[in-house]
Amino acid sequence: MLPDLARDEISRYARHLIIPSVGVEGQRKLKAARVLIVGAGGLGSPVALYLAAAGVGHIGLVDFDVVDVTNLQRQILHGTKDIGRSKLESARDTIADINPHVELTTYETALTSNNALDIIRQYDLVVDGTDNFPTRYLVNDACVLLGKPNVYGSIFRFEGQASVFSAKDGPCYRCLFPEPPPPGTVPSCAEGGVLGVLPGLIGTIQATEAIKLIIGIGDPLVGRLLLVDALAAQFRSVNVRKNPACPACGTREITELIDYDQFCGIPQAAAAMSAAGEMPEITPIELAERLRAGDVDLIDVREQNEWDFARIPGARLIPMGEFPEASSELDRNRDIVVQCRSGMRSGKVLRQLQAAGFTRVWNLAGGILRWSDEVDPSVPKY
Amino acid sequence: MEVRVLLFASYADAFGSPNVSVTVREGATVKELLARVKEMAVGHSLPPAPLIAINQEYAAPGDVVRAGDEVALIPPVAGG
């Protein structure tokens, strides 16, 4: 039995109700629907806003993050007043304002192998707005195990992908990408950047697909991977198929959720890092003293465009991509400190320098972010 | 024959271009074409079996590539 629409709901959804293929029945299906959105960030924002506005009766939202000023360029669920608040609390206020008829359940936690099945089980479909590979494989496998459609979207700089996985007869994420990429080879939004409007483009496609699936109209993106290139203004849809050898939806040898960090090689990469010996590090305060004494060379391994808006005075820019060749420009007889935004990239460069025989090299712990906190707040954090 | 290969997201970044051209024999398979791309300067950064589409259809390693085909190498993307 579909729920009835109250009088004020009929007015609110009037522009849906007059579309013949939606009508009162379609709107009642939306009201009856339960949709879980994983992630209240770039993709989750437009998805939650539009599904709430469209009258999806019950929305679940999973996130454990706090609103940061760098989120606001794209995460339109949150505003300037929300900086420092929990994303879920901020989302609750925004959604209540857009549509008080929506029932919202929030899960202030990371989605994990321990909780994913219990949470997802309660919903009709899942919208994947996560930002990392382990969680994408987790969402995929949980949806396959429970037989729930997974409305997928992902973004990188000016490009995005969208599809509907784990639907009846369609492929799943693992059919397309059976092996996760090695850790550190595909940059996240924080590392690679993303055009603020891009999650809007991809997220609204995800919201559209969710609504189509709920009402049962149109041709969903099942068996098709949509590739969006915002710079070229091109949308390509590639026909993809179910892989009979897929361990999730083909042979079904995956019968329970696994350790997805392990699957994606994250602890192995960390172990390899520490097996290479302890990372020689210097704190921002120590570095400030050494720079004043002038007995250290500070090498910034970020990109020119990052250097243009934030840098540590006294540093020299040699972008990471110019190593290991650029190491010939460095003076082996002086102490060298390498530095980036957070210390990740400079840590990799440090390992290359060690491999090239440099012994007097240190990594700036915490990079520019920590430098700004502890030494010079006039250097912008980003 | 020369085949144009479209690259997306992190692949385009690695190659510094949204497409590359490779020369393969007539009747070459997807696997052979991929081997050509991997011989290029940054080609080693590609995974062993990337997702490949020919003319917007999923392509298996044994599928044959024809002159004028649009070949696309599609990377996994995680950002959200």
Confidence check: pLDDT of A211 > 90? yes
Q: What is the mean pLDDT of chain A?
A: 95
pLDDT, tens digit (0-9, with 9 covering 90-100), for A79-129? 999 999 999 999 999 999 999 999 999 999 999 999 999 999 999 999 999
Domain end: A265, A286, A311, which one? A265
Residue A205: per-residue pLDDT:
98
CATH number at residue A115: 3.40.50.720
| Binary contact (A186, B77; C-beta < 8 A) | yes
Confidence check: pLDDT of A273 > 80? no
Residue A274: per-residue pLDDT:
78
Taking each continuous run of H as one helix and of E as one strand, the counts in chain B are 2, 5
Residue B51: per-residue pLDDT:
95
pLDDT, tens digit (0-9, with 9 covering 90-100), for A349-364? 999 999 899 999 999 9
Instruction: Examine residue A65 and state whether it is found in any structural domain, yes or no.
Output: yes
Contact yes or no for A363/A337 (Cβ under 8 A):
yes
User: Residue A275 — very low, low, confident or very high, per pLDDT cuts 50/70/90?
Assistant: confident
Instruction: Examine residue A240 and state whether it is found in any structural domain, yes or no.
Output: yes
Chain B residues with CB within 8 Å of chain A CB: 8-10, 13, 18, 45, 47-49, 51, 53, 56-58, 72, 74-80
Please check whether residues A238 and A96 belong to one and the same domain. yes
pLDDT, tens digit (0-9, with 9 covering 90-100), for B22-47? 999 999 999 999 999 999 888 888 88
Which residue carries 């290991």 as its tokens?
A324
Euclidean distance between CA atoms B76 and B21, whole angstroms: 22
User: Could you tell me the maximum CA-CA distance found in chain A, to the nearest angstrom?
Assistant: 80
Task: Give ipTM to 2 decimals.
Answer: 0.94
Write the CB contacts of A62 (distance below 8 Å, at least 6 apart in sequence): A36, A37, A38, A39, A40, A106, A107, A109, A110, A111, A119
| Binary contact (B56, A237; C-beta < 8 A) | yes
Residue B62: per-residue pLDDT:
94
Question: pTM for the complete prediction?
Answer: 0.91
Q: Report CA Rg, chain A.
A: 24
Residue B42: per-residue pLDDT:
84
Please check whether residues A259 and A298 belong to one and the same domain. no
Please check whether residues A152 and A300 belong to one and the same domain. no
Contact yes or no for A113/A260 (Cβ under 8 A):
yes
User: Could you tell me the maximum CA-CA distance found in chain B, to the nearest angstrom?
Assistant: 41
Beta pairing partners, A194 = A157
Domain end: A206, A240, A265, which one? A265
Please check whether residues A197 and A293 belong to one and the same domain. no
pLDDT, tens digit (0-9, with 9 covering 90-100), for A25-58? 999 999 999 999 999 999 999 999 999 999 999 9
Residue B6 parent element (H or E):
strand B2-7
Which residue carries 């429970």 as its tokens?
A146
Taking alpha carbons only, the member of B35, B3, B48, B52 closest to residue A238 is: B52
Residue A185: per-residue pLDDT:
80
Which chain A residues are within 8 Å of B80, Cβ to Cβ? 39, 41-44, 128-131, 153-155, 189, 199
Residue A192: per-residue pLDDT:
83
Question: Total structural domains in chain A?
Answer: 2
Please check whether residues A301 and A244 belong to one and the same domain. no
Domains of chain B with bracketed CATH:
2-74 (3.10.20.30)
In terms of residue numbers, what domain contains A368? 278-374
A21-28: which pairs have CB atoms within 8 A and are 24 or more residues apart?
A: A21/A215, A21/A217, A22/A215, A22/A217, A26/A215, A26/A217, A27/A55, A28/A2, A28/A3, A28/A4
Mutation choice for B interface testing from A61, A133, A156, A163 by most B CBs within 10 A: A156
Residue A143, CB-side half-sphere exposure with 13 Å CA sphere:
30
Confidence check: pLDDT of A276 > 80? no
How far from the centroid of its chain's Cα atoms is residue A163's Cα? Answer: 16
Which chain A residues are within 8 Å of B76, Cβ to Cβ? 133, 177, 180-181, 186
Which chain B residues are within 8 Å of A236, Cβ to Cβ? 56, 72
CB neighbour class for A377 (10 Å; exposed up to 12, middle 13-18, buried from 19): exposed
Q: Which residue of B has its CA nearest to A206?
A: B80
Contact yes or no for A65/A41 (Cβ under 8 A):
yes
Q: What is the mean pLDDT of residues A334-340?
A: 96
Residue B75: per-residue pLDDT:
95
Chain B nearest CA to A214, separation (Å): 23
Which chain B residues are within 8 Å of A128, Cβ to Cβ? 80
Please check whether residues A260 and A294 belong to one and the same domain. no
Count the neighbouring beta carbons within 10 Å of the beta carbon of residue A93. Answer: 15
Please check whether residues A257 and A298 belong to one and the same domain. no
Residue B41: per-residue pLDDT:
81
| Binary contact (B78, A186; C-beta < 8 A) | yes
* Three-class SS of chain A: CCCCCCHHHHHHCHHHHCCCCCHHHHHHHHHHCEEEEECCCCCHHHHHHHHHHHCCCEEEEECCCECCHHHCCCCCCCCHHHCCCEHHHHHHHHHHHHCCCCEEEEECCCCCCCCHHHHHCCCCEEEECCCCHHHHHHHHHHHHHHCCCEEEEEEEECEEEEEEECCCCCCCHHHHCCCCCCCCCCCCHHHHCECCCHHHHHHHHHHHHHHHHHHCCCCCCECEEEEEECCCCEEEEEECCCCCCCCCCCCCCCCCCCCHHHHCCHHHHHHHHHHCCCCCEECHHHHHHHHHHCCEEEEECCCHHHHHHCCCCCEEECCHHHCCHHHHHCCCCCEEEEECCCCHHHHHHHHHHHHCCCCCEEEECCHHHHHHHHCCCCCCCC
Mutation choice for B interface testing from A136, A177, A179, A266 by most B CBs within 10 A: A177
Return the exposure string of A104-126: e unless at least 16 CB atoms fall within 10 Å of the residue's CB, then b.
Answer: bebbeebbebeebeebbeebbbb
Beta pairing partners, B71 = B5, B54
Euclidean distance between CA atoms B50 and B48, whole angstroms: 6
CATH number at residue A330: 3.40.250.10
Domain end: A265, A289, A317, which one? A265
Please check whether residues A239 and A302 belong to one and the same domain. no
Instruction: Examine residue A152 and state whether it is found in any structural domain, yes or no.
Output: yes
Q: What is the mean pLDDT of residues A170-191?
A: 89
Please check whether residues A257 and A314 belong to one and the same domain. no
A37's tokens: 């959105």
- Whether A172 is catalytic is no
Confidence check: pLDDT of A296 > 90? yes
Q: How many Cβ pairs within 8 Å bridge chains A and B?
A: 89
Confidence check: pLDDT of A137 > 90? yes
Euclidean distance between CA atoms B75 and B70, whole angstroms: 16
User: One of A143, A175, A189, A246 is an active-site residue; which one?
Assistant: A189
- Whether A189 is catalytic is yes
Q: Are strands A34-38 and A58-62 parallel, antiparallel or unpaired?
A: parallel
Chain A residues with CB within 8 Å of chain B CB: 39, 41-44, 128-133, 136, 153-157, 159-161, 176-181, 185-189, 192, 194, 199, 225, 227, 229, 232, 236-241
Euclidean distance between CA atoms B36 and B30, whole angstroms: 10
Please check whether residues A176 and A301 belong to one and the same domain. no
Residue A114: per-residue pLDDT:
98
Residue A353: per-residue pLDDT:
93
A148's tokens: 């729930």
Please check whether residues A261 and A283 belong to one and the same domain. no
Please check whether residues A222 and A285 belong to one and the same domain. no
Q: Which residue of A has its CA nearest to B76?
A: A177
| Binary contact (A238, B74; C-beta < 8 A) | yes
Instruction: Examine residue A158 and state whether it is found in any structural domain, yes or no.
Output: yes
Which chain B residues are within 8 Å of A179, Cβ to Cβ? 47-49
Q: Which residue of B has its CA nearest to A236?
A: B56
Q: Which residue of B has its CA nearest to A136?
A: B78
